[in-house]
Amino acid sequence: MLTVNAYAATAATDPLAPATIDRRDVGPHDVLIEIKYAGICHSDIHTVRGEWGPASYPLVPGHEIAGIVAEVGSAVTKHAVGERVGVGCMVDSCRECDNCRKGEEQYCIPGNILTYAGIGRDGQVTQGGYSTHIVVTEDFVVKIPEGIPLDAAAPLLCAGITTYSPLRHWGAGPGRHVAVVGLGGLGHMAVKIAHAMGAEVTVLSQSLKKQDDGLRLGADHYYATSDPETFRALAGTFDLIVNTVSAAVDLNAFVSLLALDGALVNVGAPPEPMAINAFSLILRRRSFAGSNIGGIRETQEMLDFCAEHGIGSEIELIGADQINEAWERVLASDVRYRFVIDTATLTPAQA
């Protein structure tokens, strides 16, 4: 066992605090990663605070992990010591179901093993990236190309793949009109990626306060959804709308913006149900869908795409002692656009 420094939640409502956790011994097919940077995702907050179901404590969140391979198991063939690597939202799956065999491990039928708050093959609760090291089976570790700085790469392991996957699946590209709802951690990545894919990109945000940023990041147009005129002017416009907001929105209003055969795809995951009028879908053969991260193969594809197009996340680098403040700022939408923890600042828990 390797004992490492971490930052952990001890209860749903308490601040996170320094902790130590044990990582398993490196097995034949395992990779030990020295974590350099860990992104803060809104999912971390939802999970720790029990908004997506009961959590087990202490819990170390974090599934946007970028680091360097420190050790490999005797049978590892995919990675080598010194390699720049990443780990995203899952660290294993059954590998045998139809979806896993198709490279869609995120849709593993028995259920994949989450990077944190999951149950590993050893029966223990998995602990995430707010820590200095992690041990992961080689098949769930991806290579981070040299063209992306490690700190800006960390959020790509969730925010990047969460938006890349639906954009690719629903055919974002030249001649396609794509809208992104919300310009936050997910939304800003969706804008960058959709623009690089060649789509005409529109941001639909509650206000115009981030308009300059949106246009700088690659949007062609920017509208405020608080203005009713937006929905009149853009009715029937978009082939694809990616909703990145983790709060309830008026789905019917956004569906009205879809063209014939258009799709509204949710990647934001609000804890409460949302209603949709079936006729708003039926009358123009529109679709309302959801999308989860991406499989390991697609995640590697996304990283290679981002390196080719010079895409990284817009980040604010913080020390471990700023994590709790950062969480509050995430809840207040006060981040442009992703907090990333410098894990070198993780210190041992006080005795």
pLDDT, one tens digit per residue, over 330-345 is 999 899 999 999 999 9
> Domain limits at 299?
2-158+294-345
In a domain, 14, yes or no: yes
Q: Do 320 and 264 sit in the same domain of this protein? A: no
- Domain-terminating residue out of 272, 290, 308: 290
CATH number for the domain including 234? 3.40.50.720
Q: Do 113 and 262 sit in the same domain of this protein? A: no
Q: What's the total number of domains in the chain?
A: 2
Q: Do 180 and 264 sit in the same domain of this protein? A: yes
Cis peptide before 271 (omega within 30 of 0): no
One-character DSSP codes across 183-220? -SHHHHHHHHHHHHHT-EEEEEESSSTTHHHHHHHT-S
State pLDDT tens for residues 54-97.
Answer: 899 999 999 999 999 999 999 999 999 999 999 999 999 999 99
In a domain, 351, yes or no: no
109-118, 245-254, 318-327: the lowest-pLDDT one: 245-254
In a domain, 232, yes or no: yes
In a domain, 350, yes or no: no
pLDDT of residue 291 exceeding 50: yes
Averaged pLDDT for residues 212-232: 97
| Of 249 and 297, the one with more pLDDT | 297
pTM: 0.94
Give the residue from 242, 224, 225, 244 showing the smallest Cα distance to 287: 242
Residues paired with 113 in a beta bridge: 92
CATH number for the domain including 138? 3.90.180.10
Q: Do 310 and 253 sit in the same domain of this protein? A: no
pLDDT of residue 351 exceeding 50: no
* Strand-strand pairing, 113-114 and 90-92: antiparallel
Q: Do 171 and 272 sit in the same domain of this protein? A: yes
Q: Do 166 and 71 sit in the same domain of this protein? A: no
Outline where DSSP puts E strands in the chain: 2-8, 17-23, 30-39, 65-72, 84-87, 90-92, 113-114, 133-137, 142-143, 177-181, 200-205, 221-224, 238-243, 258-266, 287-290, 315-318, 338-342
Q: Do 109 and 226 sit in the same domain of this protein? A: no
Q: Do 143 and 198 sit in the same domain of this protein? A: no
Helices (H) and strands (E) in the chain, counts: 11, 17
Query: Which residues neighbour 138 within 8 Å (Cβ) at sequence distance 6 or greater?
Result: 29, 30, 31, 72, 73, 76, 77, 78, 79
Q: Do 14 and 151 sit in the same domain of this protein? A: yes
In a domain, 6, yes or no: yes
State pLDDT tens for residues 38-55.
Answer: 999 999 999 999 988 889
- Domain-terminating residue out of 250, 269, 290: 290
In a domain, 49, yes or no: yes
pLDDT of residue 250 exceeding 60: yes
In a domain, 239, yes or no: yes
How far is Cα 266 from Cα 288, in angstroms, rounded to an integer? 8
Sign of the alpha-carbon torsion through 247, 253, 257, 263:
positive
What's the pLDDT score for residue 350? 54
pLDDT of residue 271 exceeding 90: no
What's the pLDDT score for residue 246? 81
